[in-house]
Amino acid sequence: MEKNAKIFVAGHRGMVGSAIVRTLEVQGYSNLVTRTRDALDLPVLCMGLKNTVVAVTAAGVLVSDKGRSSCIKPYVGQLASAQDDLRVLDETSAGRTVKVTLCPGRHFICSADSSCTVVWTVLSGTGRADGDGAAYRLKPGDTLRTPAHSRRTLSADTELTLIGVQLSQS
């Protein structure tokens, strides 16, 4: 496969998906397209299960035998309390528009690949953006540009909602 071939990895933040992404990056693949399970808005289908508890949150899916469901209860609480959200609002050959909501204390790493610039607009909340040797305070109405070949970390002080527009430079 060509090193610049577009490769799609769903669930890139999970244990298996993140390992796949790291392996591909180490092998020199640079055109990775990633989405979280929640961003894909896929249904969870369980068939043939008896006495089973299934808990679905934006952060993950937990499955347990009904008799052991009390064992997963703390994890359900952790997942439910940390419901960051990333939604793809629009995607065309010209670019992509996403909406990101971060819970207080959470972080989002924004990497602009070699052919894209990302422009972020803060809709609500407060936070910080770090990258390129600088730190910026974020508040509603602020706009932040992440140029191609760069990386920023967005951090939420309060619940922080942003719109990101990724513009292809082709």
Q: What structural domains does the chain harbor?
A: 1-35 (no CATH), 40-81 (no CATH), 84-168 (2.60.120.10)
What confidence category does residue 37 fall into, taking pLDDT thresholds of 50, 70 and 90?
Answer: low
Residue 123 has a pLDDT of: 96
Q: What own/partner pairs with CB < 8 Å and gap ≥ 24 does 138-144 have?
A: 138/162, 143/119, 144/119, 144/120
Question: Backbone phi, then psi, for 39, in 5-degree steps?
Answer: -65, -25
Asked whether the beta carbons of 89 and 39 are under 8 A apart, the reply is no
Residue 114 has a pLDDT of: 58
CA 111/CA 120 separation, integer angstroms: 12
Average pLDDT for 54-82: 66
**Is 78 or 64 the better-scoring residue by pLDDT?**
64
CA 147/CA 120 separation, integer angstroms: 11
Question: Backbone phi, then psi, for 31, in 5-degree steps?
Answer: -110, 60
Asked whether the beta carbons of 60 and 78 are under 8 A apart, the reply is no
Asked whether the beta carbons of 148 and 115 are under 8 A apart, the reply is yes
**Is 59 or 108 the better-scoring residue by pLDDT?**
108
**Is 69 or 6 the better-scoring residue by pLDDT?**
6
Q: What is the mean pLDDT of the chain?
A: 78
Residue 140 has a pLDDT of: 97
- 56 CB-near residues (< 8 Å, 6+ apart): 44
* SS3 (DSSP) at 168: strand
